[in-house]
Amino acid sequence: MKPLLRVASFALAVTFCGSALVQAQVYPAKTVRVVIPWPPGGSNDVVGRVVMQKMSEALGQQFVIDNRAGASGSIGADVVAKAAPDGYTIMVHSTTHVGNAHIYGRKLAYDTLRDFTGVGMLSAQPGVLTVHPSLPVKTAREFIALAKSRPGQINYSSSGNGSAPHLQMALLISMTGIDIVHVPYKGGAPQVTALMAGETQASFATVGTVINHIRNGKLRPLGLGSTKPSKALPGVPTLAASGVPGYEMSPWIGVFAPTGTPRAVIDKLNSEINKVLAIPDVIKSLENQALDPSPSTVDQFNATIKADHEKYGKLIKLTGAKVE
């Protein structure tokens, strides 16, 4: 390389790095739109509002929640995929986001991996197999036996096609051979409302969305999808320990940004998110909703996204789960 060209290239690199640094230092300079592609009341909405309120306080700009529900979160995700990659439109989404890539396939207007970058994980959200009290079962083993004796007669609700509750039940079906009917709803809150009303008889739901209904006896927990018990549900065993050896599926909630968002901005958001997740009252607030605060680096979260993209793809292919 000629000396003059080397100097010019070096100057350009310095200018670019300096620009990125300045951008991170001044960010955010205006309101940040936080798309949550689910209705109010579900786990994504709960953790998003808790964390983004603290982000607003810490950074001196409003992080405004914009609920865009529908199609298992893909409607809101499409809004974010098409947004300017400047850090002023971000998204709070769950493992459903990677599942949608396989459930919807070419029907999606975006590419789950290509059009988004992970900013950071917010929380793990353990799921629990839950039934309406009218169903005459008290354990996972009894539920499986009943379902086998009544093929096609038990309905289960989920928060949408390709959602974590859908795939959690799909995994249970594939591992036990039961035949139950899927009824998708638009979000975790309507999913649980349907179960409480008896429109469906069973459901996988995040512990946080059903904990109060379990405590007051309106719903009955049978088993956890995680590898360890939940502090919020003492005495409720894991499915692996109660009739389904090897069962494990651990959904998460995290923050995404459109691909092309400057890494300096991504890093700043990640740093601030992790600071918020270390605040005692935030930890308490999330744990009260049975959500486990789960800070991560940017690279750790993106590695998780890619790994679960592959894992969910294999599960969906195995179970035949698809848009109905």
Q: Are 164 and 155 in contact (CB under 8 A)?
A: no
Q: How confident is the model at residue 98 (pLDDT cuts 50, 70, 90)?
A: very high
Q: 196 CB contacts (<8 Å, ≥6 apart)?
A: 132, 213, 218, 219
Report whether pLDDT(1) > 60: no
User: Do the domains at 3-124+252-319 and 127-241 have one common CATH topology?
Assistant: yes
In whole angstroms, give the CA distance from residue 175 to residue 94.
Answer: 24
Question: Could you tell me how many residues make up the chain?
Answer: 324
Average of pLDDT values for 94-105?
Answer: 90
Give the model confidence (pLDDT) of 121-171 as tens digits: 999 888 999 999 999 999 999 999 999 999 999 999 998 777 788 889 988
The confidence score (pLDDT) of residue 207 equals: 87
Structure tokens at 149: 């004796």
What share of the chain has pLDDT > 90, as a percent? 69
Does the pLDDT of residue 23 top 80, yes or no? Answer: no
Please give the full DSSP string across 7-40, using - where no structure is assigned.
HHHHHHHHHHHHHHHHHHHH--SS-EEEEE-S-T
What are the tokens at 133? 């009290």
Q: Do 188 and 205 contact (CB within 8 A), yes or no?
A: yes
pLDDT at 118 over 80: yes
Q: Is the pLDDT of residue 287 over 60?
A: yes
Q: 192-226: per-residue pLDDT in tens?
A: 999 999 999 999 998 888 999 999 999 999 999 98
What is the mean predicted confidence (pLDDT) over 31-39?
96
Q: What is the DSSP letter of 239?
A: G
| Placement of tokens 């991996």 in the chain | 113
The more confidently predicted of residues 186 and 177 is 177
Strands (E), the chain: 32-36, 63-67, 89-94, 116-124, 127-131, 155-158, 181-184, 202-206, 220-224, 252-258, 292-293
- Predicted confidence (pLDDT) per residue in 251-264, tens digit: 899 999 999 999 99
Q: How many CB atoms sit inside 10 A of residue 255's CB? A: 24
Which of 5-9, 38-42, 56-60, 232-236 is most confident? 56-60
Pairing of strands 202-206, 127-131: antiparallel
Q: What is the DSSP string of 194-235?
A: HHHHTSSSEEEEEHHHHHHHHHTTSSEEEEESSSS--TTSTT
Q: For 66, which DSSP code?
A: E
pLDDT-derived band of residue 22, with 50, 70 and 90 as boundaries? low
Question: Is residue 284's pLDDT more than 90?
Answer: yes
Residue 103 has pLDDT above 90, yes or no: no
Is residue 59 predicted with pLDDT exceeding 90? Answer: yes
The CATH number that domain 3-124+252-319 falls under is 3.40.190.150
- 296-320 tens-digit pLDDT: 999 999 999 999 999 889 888 876 7
- For the domain with range 127-241, which CATH number is right: 3.30.750.24, 3.40.190.10, 3.40.50.720, 3.10.20.30? 3.40.190.10
pLDDT of amino acid 19: 52
Domains of the chain, by residue range, sit at 3-124+252-319, 127-241
Long-range contacts (CB closer than 8 Å, 24 or more residues apart) made by 266-269? 266/87, 266/117, 266/119, 266/298, 267/24, 267/298, 268/24, 268/27, 269/87, 269/90, 269/119, 269/120
pLDDT for position 42? 80
